[in-house]
């Protein structure tokens, strides 16, 4: 018998915001819920797969990557506990254009939205509020992809590093933090050459902007910090 769901994990994301524990359980029951566990480096889904359900990370983390025709891997995103996966694919019935791999032991809750979207069972106010949250969650993902596309087409390696490290600073509320990526993963995520990125990090260190040791970074006071753009849909 599976342990009870940790509803606090579900409530930390957009999909179930402003819903009570009872309302969350009621909505989930209509969405054919099931859980799957993955070991580190296990493939959750492959490029080209159908992905008919929304996934919610109950624990662990996953890497979303795209491999081009030359075999080059581009790390598109890293998702953590509480994050959601596959909203666009589940709602639109689109095939994946990325692969999903567990970066550590991970458990995912899968929910089918077909019952709510296509089988005419949308009757309860709670279900309507869930779909409102789903719409906002999809808008957030689209905005995030737009920002990443802009960064990949027009910013220098230093600017991409600065933006990424600034994002970690805003997330941790500290100038000292560890990032969840190794050097190759970071280069893939930023769409830059690893050697060029490492050289740029050394230049930034020599200029007194930061210190680093493997995945641990300290942003010094001279380091420019990119402003954090608030999400208007996040609760204050």
Q: What local confidence, expressed as pLDDT, does residue 120 receive?
A: 56
Q: What is the DSSP letter of 50?
A: B
Determine phi and psi for 219, rounding to 5 degrees.
Answer: -90, 120
Angstrom distance (rounded) from CA 14 to CA 96: 22
> Would you state the torsion angle of the CA atoms of residues 231, 103, 57, 54, taken in this order, to the nearest 10 degrees?
90
In the structure, what pLDDT confidence band is assigned to residue 217 with cuts at 50, 70 and 90? very high
The dihedral built from the CA positions of residue 214, 219, 222 and 226, taken in this order, carries a sign that is: positive
Determine phi and psi for 55, rounding to 5 degrees.
Answer: -105, 140
Mean pLDDT of 110-123: 74
100 strand-pairing partners? 45, 64
Q: What local confidence, expressed as pLDDT, does residue 131 receive?
A: 87
What is the per-residue pLDDT across 126-171, written as a single tens digit (0 to 9) for each? 888 888 899 989 888 888 888 777 777 767 899 999 999 998 999 8
- Single pTM value for the model: 0.81
Question: Is pLDDT of 118 > 70?
Answer: no
What is the per-residue pLDDT across 188-205, written as a single tens digit (0 to 9) for each? 888 889 999 999 999 999
The dihedral built from the CA positions of residue 116, 50, 139 and 29, taken in this order, carries a sign that is: positive
Write down the mean pLDDT value for the chain: 88
Q: Which of 88, 8, 14 is nearest to 54 (CA)?
A: 88
Q: What local confidence, expressed as pLDDT, does residue 1 receive?
A: 60
Structure tokens at 42: 């296990």
What is the per-residue pLDDT across 89-98, written as a single tens digit (0 to 9) for each? 999 889 999 9
Q: What local confidence, expressed as pLDDT, does residue 148 receive?
A: 75
Question: Is pLDDT of 69 > 90?
Answer: no
Structure tokens at 70: 């030359």
User: Could you tell me what percent of the chain has a pLDDT over 90?
Assistant: 56
**Residue 108 CA to chain centroid, in angstroms?**
13
Question: Maximum distance among all alpha carbons in the chain?
Answer: 62
User: Could you tell me what percent of the chain has a pLDDT over 70?
Assistant: 93
Q: What local confidence, expressed as pLDDT, does residue 121 receive?
A: 58
Mean pLDDT of 218-228: 89
Mean pLDDT of 10-19: 90
CA atoms within 13 A on the CB side of 57: 24
| C-alpha dist (Å) from residue 117 to 53, 92, 130, 131, 214 | 12, 10, 11, 9, 46
Higher pLDDT among residues 226 and 116, named by residue: 226
């Amino acid at each position: 018998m599976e342990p009870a769901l940790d509803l606090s994990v579900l409530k930390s994301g957009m999909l179930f915001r402003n819903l009570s524990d009872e309302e969350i359980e009621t909505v989930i029951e209509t969405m054919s819920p099931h859980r799957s566990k993955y070991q580190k480096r296990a493939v959750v889904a492959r490029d080209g797969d159908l992905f008919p359900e929304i996934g919610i990370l109950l624990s662990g983390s996953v890497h979303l990557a795209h491999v081009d025709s030359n075999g080059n891997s581009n790390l598109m995103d890293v998702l953590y506990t509480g994050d959601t996966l596959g909203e666009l694919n589940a709602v639109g019935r689109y095939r994946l254009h990325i692969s999903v791999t567990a970066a550590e032991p991970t458990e995912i809750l899968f929910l089918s939205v077909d019952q709510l979207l296509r089988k005419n069972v949308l009757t309860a106010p709670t279900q309507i509020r869930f779909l409102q949250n789903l719409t906002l969650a999809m808008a957030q993902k689209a905005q995030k992809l737009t920002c990443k596309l802009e960064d990949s087409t027009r910013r220098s390696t230093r600017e991409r590093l600065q933006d990424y490290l600034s994002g970690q600073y805003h997330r941790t509320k500290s100038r000292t933090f560890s990032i969840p990526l190794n050097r190759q993963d970071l280069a893939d995520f930023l769409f830059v050459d690893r050697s060029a990125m490492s050289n740029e990090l050394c230049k930034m260190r020599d200029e007194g902007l930061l210190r680093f040791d493997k995945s641990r970074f300290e942003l010094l006071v001279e380091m420019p910090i990119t402003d954090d753009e608030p999400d208007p849909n996040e609760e204050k």
